[in-house]
Amino acid sequence: MRKSQRTAAAAAAWRAAREPDRPGSPGLGERLAALPRTLRAGLGGEYPGLGKGKVLLYLVALIYVVSPIDALPEMLVPFLGFADDVGLAVWLTTSALSESGQYLEWERRQGRVVQGRAKRVEPDGPEPEQP
């Protein structure tokens, strides 16, 4: 991994780590919890900010990071073999968390609509007297 790539990866990681600290911005836990929903909405075409191509790219990156098969094997090129996995994992994490934060912002602007039938709920306690 070249120095410019390491710097860019570190900067992206720093932005992703600091972004939840902005007032009104979704926190890290909220972003993690929204990640499956973000991916489903992207795959289903509901969320225009995340296309199927990007979801596929995330999936390929995840498979590469966890796979024992490696383009730069750690046994042959120890430092580079490890660095490419770390760099890709940092990119995947920061990109996915950033995307889920953008999804949450989009969701708030949309006003989330829950499909279903409305049911009238009576208030607790005695009913008011009818005159």
Task: Label each residue of 83-117 as H, E or C.
Answer: HHHHHHHHHHHHHHHHHHHHHHHHHHHHCCCCCCC
Domain residue ranges in the chain: 27-110
Mean of pLDDT over the chain: 78
Query: How would you label 69-84 residue by residue, b for 16+ Cβ within 10 Å and e otherwise?
Result: ebeeeeeeeeeeeebb
pLDDT of residue 3: 61
Taking the model in full, what pTM does it have? 0.63
Task: Tell me the pLDDT of the chain (131 aa) as tens digits.
Answer: 556 666 666 666 666 666 656 667 788 889 999 999 999 999 999 999 999 999 999 999 999 888 877 766 666 777 777 777 888 899 999 999 999 999 999 988 887 555 556 666 666 766 666 66
